[in-house]
Amino acid sequence: MTVEDVRAFNRFYTGVIGALDYERHLYAPYTLTEARVLYELAHAPHLDAVDLRGGLGLDAGYLSRILNRFEESGLIARGPSDSDPRRRRITLTARGRATAALLEERAQDMVGALLDGVAPADRPRLAEAMRTIRDILGTAQPPAEKPAEDVVLREPGAGELGWIVQRNGALYAAEFGWNAAYEGLVARIVADFAEDHDPHLERVWIAELAGRPVGSVMCVRDEAPGTARLRLLLVEPQARGHGIGDRLVRAVVDFARGAGYRELVLWTNDVLTGARRLYERHGFVLTAERPHRSFGHDLVGQDWRLELHAPGD
C-alpha cells in the first residue's frame, strides 16, 4: 500500500459523503468539528474541556472558542466538576440536547441512504472491511490504559452459536486470509455441540461488552478419558485489551477443573501469537508441532496441554 492508495480512498469516500449531503445541510449551521463536540456531550454527560480536548485531539484554543460559541447560543452550561474543583463540567442544555438530537437524526438518515444502495448480501463484507480499517488504523490507548468496562461472560442466546461461526469465518479471513474451509470446520464443531453435549461436562461462553457479543470460547470432552478440550477462542479486534481473552481462558480452566477433568488440551497454529502467549500465561505447555496445509495456507499446528490435577490427587 502507498500514500496515494490512502489518499485515493479518502477522495472516494468524501465524494460519496458529499454526494449524499449535496445540499450541505447535514451539520448546518455547525462545522463538522462542532457537530462532533455536540455528539460527545450528548453521549457522555459528565465531560469537561480537558476530556473533550484529549478525546478529540483538539487544540485548547480552538475548543475554547467552540465552547464559548455554544454557551452564547444557549447550547451548553458550565458548572463545577464533581470530581475536581479546578475543572468546569460541561453539560448540554435542553436546547443543546434538541440540537444534538437533530444532527443525530440527519446523520442517521444520511447513512441509511448510503446503505440503501448496498445489496444486503454485501453488507456483512462492508461491515467487516470497516472493522478492519478501524483496527489497523485506530489510535486506541495501550491496553493497560483503556477504560475499565464491565465484561460479562454468559451462555449463548438464541442465534449466537451461529454468531460464533460467522465471526470466526470473517475474522480469520480478514486477519490471516484463511478460506471457507476454516469456517466449515468451525460450523461442524459448533453443530456437534448444539446437537449433543453434556451441560455438566461441556460449555460455551459468550463475552459481552457494552451489550453486544465480543468474544467466545468452548470447553468440550476430548476423546482421551479425563481430558477436556478448549476450542474456538475468539475476541473481536475492537474489544482486545480489556482482558477478555484472559477471562475466557480462565473460565474454561476453572470449569474443566470443577468438572473433574485431569487435563485440558487445545490445538492452535503458530501464526496465532497472541493466543499462544495467553495460553502460556495460564500454564499450558507446548507438547507437539506439525506442519500442515489447511485453510489455503501452509501452517504449523501446535498441541498444548495443561495438567489440572497433580499426579496422585
Domain match, 160 and 258 both: yes
The Cα–Cα gap between 129 and 115 comes to: 14
Using alpha carbons, select from 153, 182, 181, 313 the residue that is nearest to residue 248.
153
Torsion of CA 150, 156, 159, 162, to 10 degrees: 100
pLDDT-derived band at 120, boundaries 50, 70, 90: confident
Express each pLDDT in 183-234 by its tens digit: 999 999 999 999 999 999 999 999 998 778 999 999 999 999 999 999 999 9
Beta bridge partners of 91: 77
CB 303 within 8 A of CB 286: yes
| CATH number of the structural domain spanning residue 96 | 1.10.10.10
pLDDT of residue 179: 94
Q: Count other C-beta atoms under 10 Å from residue 162's C-beta.
A: 13
Q: Which residue has the higher pLDDT, 47 or 112?
A: 112
**131 in a domain, yes or no?**
no
For residue 82, name the pLDDT band (cuts at 50, 70, 90): low
Q: What is the DSSP letter of 142?
A: P
62 shares its domain with 107: yes
Which pLDDT value is given to residue 61? 80
pLDDT in the model for residue 78: 81
- Is residue 227 located within the same domain as residue 186? yes
**What is the pLDDT at residue 265?**
97
Read off the amino acid at residue 116: D
Rounded to the nearest 5°, which phi and psi values hold at 67? -65, -35
Q: Are residues 26 and 170 in the same domain?
A: no
Q: How many domains does the chain have?
A: 2
Q: Considering only 119-123, 152-156, 176-180, which range has the smallest mean pLDDT? A: 119-123
Residue 123 within a domain: no
Distance separating alpha carbons of residues 247 and 153, to the nearest angstrom: 8
Does 313 fall in a domain? no
pLDDT score of 143 more than 60: no
Query: Does residue 14 lie in a domain region?
Result: yes
Contact of 253 with 233, CB cutoff 8 Å: no
pLDDT on residue 23? 45
Domain extent at residue 48? 3-117
Residue 134 lies in a domain: no
pLDDT for the residue 230 = 97
What is residue 110's predicted lDDT score, i.e. its pLDDT?
77
Range scoring the smallest mean pLDDT among 10-14, 17-21, 52-56, 259-263: 17-21
Domain holding 168: CATH number? 3.40.630.30
**For cell 440503501, what's the residue?**
116
* Distance of alpha carbon 266 from alpha carbon 286, whole angstroms: 10
Q: How far apart are the first and last CA of the chain?
A: 57
Which positions ≥6 away from 149 have C-beta within 8 Å? 209, 210, 242
